[in-house]
Amino acid sequence: MSYRFTLAFDMRTPSFGARSEALYQAALDQCAWADRLGFDACIFMEHHASEDGYLPSPIVMAAAAAARTERIAITISALLLPLYHPVRAAEDMAVLDILSGGRLRLIVGAGYRDDEYAQFGLSLRDRARLMEDGIAVLKQAWSGEPFEYGGRTIRVLPRPLQEPRPAIVMGGSSQAAAIRAARIADGFFPSNPALFEDYRQELARLGKPVPAPMPATVGVRPLFVHISENPTRAWEAIRPHAAHDAGEYARWGRGLTNLPYRETESADELRQSGQYLVLTPDEAIHHARRMGGIGFKPLMGGMDPDLSWESLDLFERCVLPALS
DSSP string, 156-176: --SPPSSSS---EEEEESSHH
Residue 183's SS3 state is helix
Nearest to 239 by CA among 143, 303, 181, 176: 303
Could you read off the pLDDT of 207-219 as tens digits, one per residue? 999 999 998 766 5
Nearest to 123 by CA among 159, 91, 83, 90: 83
Whole-prediction pTM value?
A: 0.96
- What is d(CA 148, CA 140) in angstroms, rounded to the nearest whole number? 9
Could you read off the pLDDT of 241-250 as tens digits, one per residue? 999 999 999 8
Could you read off the pLDDT of 149-188 as tens digits, one per residue? 999 999 999 999 999 999 999 999 999 999 999 999 999 9
Q: Could you give all domains of the chain from N- to C-terminal order, each with its CATH number?
A: 1-166 (3.20.20.30), 218-324 (no CATH)
